[in-house]
Amino acid sequence: MKGYRQRRIDGRLETALIATTNAYAAPLVLNRLSEFGYTNRKLTQGKSLYAAAAQKVNEAAARLGEQRAATERLRQCRAKAVCAYQNLAKTARAVFYHDPGALISLGLKAKKPGGAARLLTAANTLFDASFYTSAMRTALAEHGYSDAKLSEERGKIAQLQFAAEVQGQCRAAYQQAKEAQRTALRALDEWMERLLKTARVAFAEDPQTLEQFGLAARSGPSRTQREGRRNPAATRRQARLVNLAA
**Are 131 and 236 contained in the same domain?**
no
Listed ranges 39-43, 66-70, 138-142; the one with the highest mean pLDDT? 66-70
**Are 170 and 234 contained in the same domain?**
no
What does pTM read for this prediction?
A: 0.73
**Are 59 and 164 contained in the same domain?**
yes
Contact (CB, 8 A) for 84 and 156: yes
**Are 28 and 67 contained in the same domain?**
yes
Show the DSSP H helices in 36-146 as ranges.
40-95, 100-105, 116-126, 134-141
Mean pLDDT of 198-219: 78
Q: Is residue 216 domain-resident?
A: no
| Cα gap 133→141, rounded to integer Å | 12
Q: Is residue 137 domain-resident?
A: yes
Listed ranges 1-10, 80-89, 166-175; the one with the highest mean pLDDT? 166-175
**Are 137 and 230 contained in the same domain?**
no
**Are 21 and 136 contained in the same domain?**
yes
Q: What is the mean pLDDT of the chain?
A: 85
142 Cβ partners below 8 Å, 6+ apart? none
| Cα gap 16→178, rounded to integer Å | 20
Confidence at residue 169, expressed as pLDDT on a 0 to 100 scale:
97
Nearest 5°: CA angle at 169, between 168 and 175? 90
Which element (helix H / strand E) includes 29? helix 27-35
Q: Is residue 176 domain-resident?
A: yes
- DSSP letters, 175-201, are HHHHHHHHHHHHHHHHHHHHHHHHHHH
Mean pLDDT of 182-202: 92
**Are 89 and 108 contained in the same domain?**
yes
pLDDT of 208 > 60? The answer is yes
pLDDT-derived band at 174 (thresholds 50, 70, 90) equals very high
**Are 174 and 232 contained in the same domain?**
no
Q: Is residue 11 domain-resident?
A: yes
| Cα gap 176→67, rounded to integer Å | 12
Q: Is residue 217 domain-resident?
A: no
For 41-53, what is each residue's pLDDT tens digit?
999 999 999 999 9
Structural domain that includes position 238? 222-246
Q: How many domains does the chain have?
A: 2
**Are 203 and 240 contained in the same domain?**
no
More confident residue, 220 or 128: 128
**Are 230 and 186 contained in the same domain?**
no
Q: Is residue 64 domain-resident?
A: yes
Confidence at residue 183, expressed as pLDDT on a 0 to 100 scale:
97
Confidence at residue 23, expressed as pLDDT on a 0 to 100 scale:
85
More confident residue, 242 or 62: 62
Confidence at residue 235, expressed as pLDDT on a 0 to 100 scale:
57
Find the range with the poorest average confidence among 15-19, 25-29, 81-85, 107-111.
107-111
Contact (CB, 8 A) for 34 and 222: no
Find the range with the poorest average confidence among 111-125, 133-147, 211-225.
211-225
* Cα separation of the two ends of the chain: 40
Q: How many CA atoms lie within 13 A of 84 on its CB side?
A: 26
**Are 138 and 227 contained in the same domain?**
no
Integer CA distances (angstroms), 72 to 10, 166, 243, in order: 26, 11, 74
For 214-229, what is each residue's pLDDT tens digit?
776 555 454 554 555 5
Confidence at residue 244, expressed as pLDDT on a 0 to 100 scale:
42
Confidence at residue 154, expressed as pLDDT on a 0 to 100 scale:
92
**Are 65 and 183 contained in the same domain?**
yes
pLDDT-derived band at 77 (thresholds 50, 70, 90) equals very high
Confidence at residue 245, expressed as pLDDT on a 0 to 100 scale:
45
- DSSP letters, 44-64, are HHHHHHHHHHHHHHHHHHHHH
Q: Is residue 179 domain-resident?
A: yes
